[in-house]
Amino acid sequence: MEANEVLWKVKNGEMSVEEAEEYFRREPFEELGYAKLDTHRKLRSGFAEVVYCSGKADQHLLDIYERLYQEDGEVLGTRASKEQYELIRNHLPEVRYDEISHILKIEKDGKERIGRIAVCSAGTADIPVAEEAAQVAEYFGTKVERIYDIGVSGLHRMLSKLDTIQSANCIVAVAGMEGALASVLGGLVDKPVIAVPTSIGYGASMHGLSALLTMINSCANGIAVVNIDNGYGAGYMATQINRLAAEKRREK
């Protein structure tokens, strides 16, 4: 239950002041022994805790999912396997899984999405990371425009979508190989560009290190770089930027 829901319940007489005080007096985390669930994170930061699924024991993952779902009515997981999806679905049939991005989520219906970001990939092989960024941003309430396979080996493809890219509040540039997409976009837009290097490429790409170094050393301005294959981090940061832009428009 969210803080504003508690306050509305008090206002409408559905919850006593004492019950509300008890809710807010709870520890800011729930102790599970093997995990400490940050149940107040959404209250502090505007984003609920997200589950990194890879490597978790089955029972731990299931318990965490069930508890977070009870807390907020929805839950988002990243880097989930098909087997983990089947495990969760047996207990929470509402869960949905995307085999491309490996996102595992239960999401509330009718969620409002505001503003707009553009998630761009250099190649088709970069789409799994791009989709992780896009779906994380959508889960957190952002409208997303997907623009895939516009790498620098064919600049005409990017230029054909330039109006759409330039009108976004933030751009996520996902690229492997030499990672030049972020630099090109950075020189064409007046919005922040979040660069995501991917581990796509042949031997000298060094599993994404070449793209990472290219992006860090970009001569274009306004580029921030996240870790290799970190679509989640890019989607989260893009949502923060998008929220600020949307709020500024509302104030005007």
Q: How far is CA 25 from CA 19, 48, 213, 232, in A?
A: 10, 19, 47, 31
Tell me which amino acid residue 249 is: R
Sole residue written with tokens 């709020």? 247
Quick one: how far is CA 207 from the chain centroid? 22
For 114-251, CATH gives 3.40.50.1970
pLDDT at 32: 64
Q: Please, which residues have CB within 8 angstroms of residue 213's CB and are 6 or more apart in sequence?
A: 179
Strands 193-197 and 171-175, sheet pairing: parallel
Sole residue written with tokens 């991005």? 101
- How far apart are alpha carbons 209 and 204 in whole angstroms? 9
- How far apart are alpha carbons 58 and 156 in whole angstroms? 47
Helix/strand number for the chain, H first, E second: 11, 11
- How far apart are alpha carbons 65 and 177 in whole angstroms? 36
pLDDT at 47: 75
User: What is the full per-residue pLDDT of the chain (252 aa) written as tens digits?
Assistant: 566 677 777 777 777 877 766 666 565 655 566 666 666 666 676 777 889 999 999 999 998 898 888 887 889 999 999 999 999 999 999 999 999 999 999 998 888 899 999 999 999 999 999 999 999 999 999 999 999 999 888 888 888 999 999 999 999 999 999 889 999 999 999 999 999 999 999 999 999 999 999 999 999 999 999 999 999 999 999 999 999 988 877 776
pLDDT at 156: 87
Looking at the chain, which residues constitute the CATH 3.40.50.1970 domain(s)?
A: 114-251
- How far apart are alpha carbons 228 and 132 in whole angstroms? 13
